[in-house]
Amino acid sequence: MARTRRDAKAATQRKILAAGRAVFAEQPYDDASMDAVARRAEVSKALVHHYFGTKRALYVAVLRSMAEHFLEGTAPDASEPPRARAESGIRRYLDFVEAHPRAFAALVRGGVGSSDGEVRAIVDELRERIVARIQRRLGNDEPHPVLDLFLRGYLGAMEAISLRWIDGGTDRETVAAVGHAFLEAAVLRSLAMDPASVPEFGGGRLP
Ordered by start, the domain boundaries in the chain are: 1-53, 62-207
* Integer Cα distance of 78 and 85 in angstroms: 8
pTM: 0.82
- pLDDT 10s digits, 126-180: 999 999 999 988 889 899 999 999 999 999 999 999 999 999 999 999 999 999 9
- Report which of 200, 202, 199, 203 is spatially closest to residue 85, judged by C-alpha positions: 200
- pLDDT 10s digits, 33-67: 999 999 999 999 999 999 999 999 999 999 898 88
Check whether domain 1-53 has CATH 3.10.20.740, yes or no? no
* Burial classification of residue 13, based on how many CB atoms lie within 10 Å of its CB (0-12 exposed, 13-18 middle, 19 or more buried): middle
Do 62-207 and 1-53 fall under one CATH topology? no
> Please, which pLDDT band fits residue 17 given cuts at 50, 70 and 90?
very high
Q: Which CATH class is domain 62-207?
A: mainly alpha
- pLDDT 10s digits, 89-133: 899 999 999 988 888 887 787 666 545 788 888 989 999 999 999
φ, ψ at 199 (rounded to 5°): -65, -25
